[in-house]
């Protein structure tokens, strides 16, 4: 330690020099639009030198205040507040959440009451709807009609309530020519072809493959993964045993596009999956 | 609008009041202390210590020099607003439910509670609006309410009458000359009147009642001009200057909920149009009944003191001032 007097530590010296050169005086320039640009340099805690450029516009707001009010603002605080600094104290005063308050004509309070109201209007609407039986036109549901076993719905041939009352036994008799029974598919003049099960979403069997000889440990997802590489798979159905939950050995895979299906059929037929060899063919249209 | 929340009181608020210039709010609560707050930012100016019981009422004279308060310690006190110094104490045999100055601050009334050995009365003192002046010991007028105890009272225009509201829902007009009853009217059906606040010129006033309505009544013949029905017991009602609205505050008190319906909430300030008697909006926030609503004398804001111990100071924003009815706009277009 041979630090002689008059000679300072070289490290400190270098730092001093650095500080002197690194921190020029802040520059303030006046802009044309009345604002000021202040450029300052500071050294952050981590030693980084930072240039700060701030643009400030000063606006003088003059407000006329009631002199009595202004005087009262200067009053010294007293009581529990004596000696406290100027401005609101955080222990007593805080700012609440913003409240949207817009007066409006015909104000309706609360959501709950609104709901009640809508339920009420619904009820009112239902009040005016009359229930009418399709068999006897009475004010009950068709299924509750006392004549539902003996009469066909209104508007069908030979089944008005009047003529049923007159000749019920012979009309219903077995083997009688002109029986009142009409099979469902011939009703309404035979025009309707009857509804198909499954509704309007008819399956497109054209792009469906039937996969057989599937391992009984296979899962639908395995099949989906295998077939998805040929195109968009819309449906995978793997037949499973209801009791054991294992696959029965066959599955259907539907594609969005028939071309994909054809390609998949060609490639996957004879593919080894598990310990078995798959057999893939186009599904036959069910009749 | 962003309300200023003031939590300087430890117990429920009983009254909040603006001074005439609207820059200071005085509040009293059941915690024995009066507080003064700057309405602009919620800063506390100071506290007034001396009362030994819950406080029921506070009022300030128009020059913001003297402050009057009354409470359950059977005293009515006069304070120096600026320093918080106690100037005068009047002692009674029962608690003071309401104090109010007249228009120029030269008279002060106090409403005393009815209790065993004490009758309900209204006492009037002649006040000199000066901190250094000696205030009288004796009242200049005393009105005894025989029929039903008075809950609220105030001076009408030119201090011509004293109007009092009673526990049985009646309002009474008393002459200032001799303290005799001149008129009486039942305006609320057998339910106590909880508040009575004046219009700016003190020619009419609004009452609120536990019967869930507020009513606008003229001072000279006690005619009911308007009725504002609500669905909750009301504790307070006031009229807003600048816009023709009234603000009603109330709510089902917790103590009453077990007896009556358990419907929760309704702790909202309700705004009605003063002329059309129609509800135009509500301001939520308190989580207890509103015990008092007071409006800024310039109509720029209002504050409410709640059973929850909070004062909420609101400064109205643009939609409040912009709202007009169709007919009002038509009328304005014609002119």
B7, B9, B50: which is closest to B30 by C-alpha?
B9
Q: For A56-75, what is the mean pLDDT?
A: 90
Is the CB of B281 less than 8 angstroms away from the CB of A73?
no
pLDDT of residue A143: 77
B278-314 pLDDT per residue, tens: 999 999 888 889 999 999 999 999 999 999 999 999 9
Q: Does B5 touch chain A (CB under 8 A)?
A: yes
Protein fold of B4-334:
Methylamine Dehydrogenase; Chain H (2.130.10)
Q: How far is B8 from chain A (nearest CA, A)?
A: 5
Q: Say how far apart CA A79 and CA B307 lie, in whole Å.
A: 24
Quote the tokens at residue B45.
């100016």
pLDDT of residue B90: 96
pLDDT of residue A112: 43
Specify the higher pLDDT residue, B65 or A142. Answer: B65
For residues B227 and B207, the answer to whether their CB atoms sit within 8 Å is: no
Q: Does B302 touch chain A (CB under 8 A)?
A: no
CB contacts of A73 in chain B (<8 Å) are 23, 38
DSSP letter for each residue of B104-137: TSSEEEEEEPPBTTB--EEEEEE--S-SSSPPPS
Does residue A285 register a pLDDT over 80?
no
- Nearest chain A residue to B244 by CA distance is A103
Whose tokens are 């930012």? That residue is B41
Quote the tokens at residue A260.
């994909």
pLDDT of residue B50: 94
Does residue A171 register a pLDDT over 50?
no
Select from A94, A103, A107 the residue whose CB has the most chain B CBs within 10 Å, as the one to mutate to test that interface: A103
Q: What is the ipTM of this complex?
A: 0.84
End-to-end CA distance of chain B: 32
B73, B66, B58: which is closest to B27 by C-alpha?
B58
Does residue A96 register a pLDDT over 70?
yes
Is the CB of A103 less than 8 angstroms away from the CB of B33?
no
Q: Is the backbone of residue A137 left (phi > 0), alpha (psi -120 to 50) or beta?
A: left
Domain boundaries, chain B: 4-334
pLDDT band at A158; cut points 50, 70, 90: very low
B72-82 pLDDT per residue, tens: 999 999 999 99
Domain boundaries, chain A: 23-58, 129-160, 205-282
A188-238 pLDDT per residue, tens: 655 545 555 544 455 566 788 999 998 888 888 888 888 988 888 888 999
> What's A205-282's CATH class?
alpha beta
Does residue A166 register a pLDDT over 50?
no
CB contacts of B316 in chain A (<8 Å) are 101
pLDDT band at A168; cut points 50, 70, 90: very low
Q: Say how far apart CA B178 and CA B161 lie, in whole Å.
A: 10
pLDDT of residue A119: 58
pLDDT of residue B192: 94
What are the residue ranges in chain B where pLDDT is below 50?
Answer: 260-263
A231-262 pLDDT per residue, tens: 888 889 998 888 888 888 899 999 888 888 99
pLDDT of residue A12: 56
């Amino acid at each position: 330690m041979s630090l002689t007097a008059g000679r300072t530590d070289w490290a400190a010296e270098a730092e001093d020099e650095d500080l002197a050169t690194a921190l020029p005086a802040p520059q303030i320039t006046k802009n044309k639009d009345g604002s000021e640009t202040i450029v300052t340099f500071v050294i952050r805690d981590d030693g980084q030198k930072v240039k700060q450029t701030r643009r400030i516009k000063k606006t003088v707001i003059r407000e006329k205040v009631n002199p009595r009010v202004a005087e009262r603002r200067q009053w010294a605080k007293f009581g529990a507040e004596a000696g406290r600094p100027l401005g609101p104290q955080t222990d007593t005063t805080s700012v609440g959440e913003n409240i949207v308050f817009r007066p409006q004509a015909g104000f309706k309070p609360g959501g709950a009451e609104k709901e009640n109201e809508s339920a009420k209007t619904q009820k009112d609407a239902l009040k005016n709807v009359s229930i009418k039986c399709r068999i006897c036109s009475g004010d009950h549901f068709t299924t509750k009609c006392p004549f539902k076993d003996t009469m066909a719905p209104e508007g069908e041939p030979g089944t008005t309530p009047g003529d049923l009352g007159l000749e019920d036994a012979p009309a219903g008799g077995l083997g009688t020519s002109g029986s009142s029974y009409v099979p469902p598919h011939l009703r309404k003049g035979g025009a309707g072809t009857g509804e198909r099960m499954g509704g309007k979403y008819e399956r497109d069997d054209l792009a469906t493959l039937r996969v057989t000889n599937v391992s009984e440990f296979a899962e639908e997802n395995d099949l989906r993964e295998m077939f998805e590489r040929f195109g968009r798979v819309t449906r995978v159905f793997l037949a499973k045993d209801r009791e054991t939950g294992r696959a029965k050995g066959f599955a259907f895979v539907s594609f969005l596009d028939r071309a994909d299906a054809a390609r998949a059929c060609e490639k996957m037929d004879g593919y080894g999956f598990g310990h078995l060899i798959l057999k893939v063919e186009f599904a036959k249209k069910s009749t | 609008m962003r309300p200023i929340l003031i939590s300087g009181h430890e117990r429920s608020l009983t009254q909040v009041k603006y001074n005439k210039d609207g820059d200071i709010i005085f509040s009293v609560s059941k915690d024995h202390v009066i507080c003064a707050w700057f309405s602009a930012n919620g800063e506390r100016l100071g506290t007034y210590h001396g009362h030994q019981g819950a406080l029921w009422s506070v009022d300030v004279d128009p020059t913001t020099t003297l402050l009057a308060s009354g409470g359950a310690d059977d005293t009515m006190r006069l304070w120096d607003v600026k320093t918080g110094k106690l100037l005068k104490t009047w002692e009674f045999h029962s608690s003071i439910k309401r104090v109010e100055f007249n228009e120029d601050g030269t008279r002060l009334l106090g409403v005393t509670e009815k209790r065993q050995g004490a009758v309900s009365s209204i006492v009037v003192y002649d006040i000199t609006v000066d901190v250094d002046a000696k205030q009288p010991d004796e009242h200049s007028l005393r009105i005894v309410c025989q029929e039903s105890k008075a809950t609220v009272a105030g001076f009408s225009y030119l201090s011509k009458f004293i109007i009092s509201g009673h526990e049985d829902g009646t309002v009474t007009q008393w002459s200032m000359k001799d303290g005799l009853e001149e008129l009486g009217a039942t305006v609320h059906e057998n339910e106590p009147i909880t508040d009575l606040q004046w219009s700016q010129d003190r020619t009419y006033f609004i009452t609120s009642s536990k019967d869930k309505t507020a009513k606008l009544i003229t001072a000279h013949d006690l005619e009911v001009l308007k009725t504002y029905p609500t669905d909750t017991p009301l504790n307070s009602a006031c009229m807003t200057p600048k816009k023709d609205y009234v603000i009603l505050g109330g709510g089902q008190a917790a103590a009453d909920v077990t007896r009556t319906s358990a419907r929760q909430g309704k702790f909202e300030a309700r705004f009605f149009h003063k002329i059309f008697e129609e509800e135009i909006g509500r301001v939520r926030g308190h989580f207890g009944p509103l015990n008092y609503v007071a409006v800024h004398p310039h109509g720029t804001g209002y504050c409410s003191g709640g059973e929850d111990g909070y004062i909420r100071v609101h400064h109205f924003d643009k939609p409040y001032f912009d709202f007009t009815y169709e007919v009002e706009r038509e009328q304005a277009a014609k002119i």
